[in-house]
Amino acid sequence: MIDDLYHEELLEVVRHPSYYGTLENADLILHETNASCGDELTIYIQFEDSKNPLSPIKVLQWTGTGCIISQASMSYLAEFMQGKTLKDLEKINQSQLEHWLGIEEIAIGRVKCLLLGITALHKA
């Protein structure tokens, strides 16, 4: 079962996360931490229309440190969010994240890690 969780694909994602890096001239910067374990994420967003946060996302990049679940989850989320709007976030739930990560059902103790990226984006 642990091999399900920490399978090679997941470890690879964390070694080479998608859209990782800061963004100069970001229209919006979000910061989120998981107090219980020290995961943290910073998300940088540039919108098509800089003045309209409801307009499609031109670029989303992110940086962070933390456990595999939170970092991998954010990486998949970053891939999804390119060109989407913040409203499209509603399509993403715990199930979807579990699916991307290739996990059948995450342990209760790791749910916060899984949802860290979504939690940050919801605050936008």
Partner 1 sequence: MFNAQEVKRDFPILNRTVHEKPLVYLDNAATSQKPNVVIDAISDYYREHNANVHRGVHVLGDESTRLFHHSRQSVADFFGAQKEELLIVRNTTEAINQVAYTWGENNIVEGDVILATELEHHSDLVPWQMLAQKKNAKVEYIPVTETGMLNLEWLQNYDFKQNPVKLLAFSHVSNTLGTLAPVTEIVELIRKHSPRTKILIDGAQAAPHLPITFDDMNVDFYVMSAHKMMGPMGIGGLLIKREVLQTLPPFLYGGGMIAEVSLETTTFIDDLEERFTAGTPDVASLVGWAAACKYLQHLGMQNVYHHDHELVAYALEKLSQVEAVKIIGPTDPKDRVGSVTFSYQGVHAHDVGQVLDSEGIAVRSGHHCTMPLHTKLGLAASIRVSFNVYNTTEDIDALVTALNKVKKVFGQ
Long-range contacts, stretch 10-14, CB < 8 angstroms, 24+ apart: 10/68, 10/72, 10/101, 10/102, 11/68, 13/72, 13/75, 13/76, 14/68, 14/71, 14/72, 14/75
Residue 12 as a binder of partner 1 (CB under 8 A): the answer is no
Closest CB to partner 1 among residues 14, 89: 14
5 binds partner 1 (CB under 8 A): yes
Q: Contacts with partner 1 in 17-56 (CB under 8 A)?
A: 35-40
9 binds partner 1 (CB under 8 A): no
Report the residue number, 32 or 39, with the smaller CB distance to partner 1. 39
Q: Which of 32, 57, 66, 116 binds partner 1 (CB under 8 A)?
A: 66
